[in-house]
Structure 1
Amino acid sequence: MRRILRWLLTSAVLTFTVSALTFVLVSLTPGDAARTILGRDATPEQYQQLRAQLGLNDPLAVQYGHWLVHAVHGDLGTALSTGQPVLLTLQQRLGPSLSLILGALVVSALLGVGLGVLSAVRGGAVGRALDLVSMVGMALPAFWLGLVLVAAFAVALPLLPASGYVPFADSPWQWARSLALPVLTLGIGGCATIAKQTRDAMLAELRRDYIVLLRAHGLPQRTVVLRHALKNAAIPVVTVLGLLLVGLLSGTVLAETVYVVPGLGSTAVLATQAHDLPLIQGVALCFTVVVVLVNLLVELLYGWLDPRSSR
């Protein structure tokens, strides 16, 4: 209960801070939505009339206060560039982004933990090879890796689509194919990080006295490694997974732009170009909620893996 209360308080402060900073920073960027909507051929009278209609002539604090009051009541306003409700736009774009983020997280977690455990148990050449692969994976720029994957699996070997997104409801198989390259682009770097962290944590646990005692009592190696050592080594791995998921939020901006995925990342880019403040605020709020929920999940996993940490 203490964890949940602390999470609620932190979440409220974080959400308010992010929304206020986003509002201020976007307002400081050159241009405005009225000029973008009307174009260069509009007269000054039309420009001023639209600014007054959109409320852009009000002081910044007044604009933010109006937005905050409506947001508390579940109304995020209307996108200035499309005329569509922001909430409806977020609902349409959230699915592709979550598919991309969760897919990359699952790939990173499964491969990273598996390689890390294997390296810690086998050691020797396997451990050194994993260190090398981890350094290479963390050093590769995501945009370069994405171009290489497209050239390899969409051009040289036309096995996967180079761009586009197919909803799961239309075709689960085509949905998986459309996400394969962007998921790999985001997941390879995370896999290397998780593998290195898992290996280091497992090596530390396998040297502890209770592991020696369990082996002396004749427990199978698989039980010792997976049921006891891996669970106790999971806390730092869970921390890295939480940080990785938060980092994937920014990674979606690149992946969705490169692979033309209609998600929140590409929406944020288009909204920024159009100076569409309500839509930018909505995307930032959505990302903040995801970060808050990830922090809650990590806190709950801490309590499950180590009950002493909740006291």
Structure 2
Amino acid sequence: MLWKGRRQSSNIEDRRGRSGMPGGRLGGGGPIRLPIGRGAGGGGLSGIIILVVIFFALRACGIDPMQILEGGSGAGSQQISFDRSEGSSQVSDEEAQFVSVVLAETEDVWNGIFQSQGQNYTEPRLVLFTNQIQSACGYASSASGPFYCPGDSRVYIDLGFFRELAQRFAASGDFAQAYVIAHEVGHHVQNLIGVLPEFNRQRQRMSQLEANQMSTRVELQADCFAGIWAHFTAQKGLLEDGDIEEALNAAHQIGDDTLQKRTQGYVVPESFNHGTSEQRMTWFANGLRNGRLEDCDTFNNPV
């Protein structure tokens, strides 16, 4: 990915080197994590379907979101980009700078998409931490992997995970790392449009199997949103040869079935809560193909 010299986000909080942060549980549901041996719960189907329908409610007002996104000239023809020069992070090391640039690129894409629909995009903050952290969703250690906390609208990452991604999960490359960030930002988008609040409200009333099935739909939609970001990033000319393959490989390597085969030698489909490798790759590709929000409806389509 051609990222050097690009705008860095001002929404970075560098808490590395600290032994945890004050703050209790503020509500808003538990953290939404990448699967590295443990996963999130599920949610309710009917309520989430309604929220996804609302997200596309501009159609009912006679406005076609697809024409806005496409500029009326075919799928993916318009680049959604609002490059901004103001604001920069205070991080100085290259790895953190990369994360800051990727976050800035997600800001540009999602600000553009939301603005094209007459809505405001509230940008998330991204917290860099080492070993352990206290968020509004409770205490977490770096062993849990990157996560999004809907309670404080923050993405949390220990940068050591990227080395683990390459060494333990065989998913190396800067765009594999960018995919991880874009996936967690995808959960923030879900939080803004109401998917995550409904997910957290209803999952406590579901059986574990039902909760896992709904969690899978939530996670696959976040993968699709990451694909939308990759679509518009490609339109900017920032991708290099092999970048998309890196992201697809990362999606494959953290599929539930692949992880279970690696860690325990067999799979238990009933326990899947993020999606199989094939599903994760497919939904990322759905978002990547045309950059269309409607291609990310995991609640009304088979997954």
Q: TM-score band, normalised by the shorter chain?
A: under 0.3
So what's the TM-score if we normalise by structure 1?
Answer: 0.26
TM-score (norm 2): 0.26
Larger Rg: 1
> Per residue, is there more strand in 1 or in 2?
2
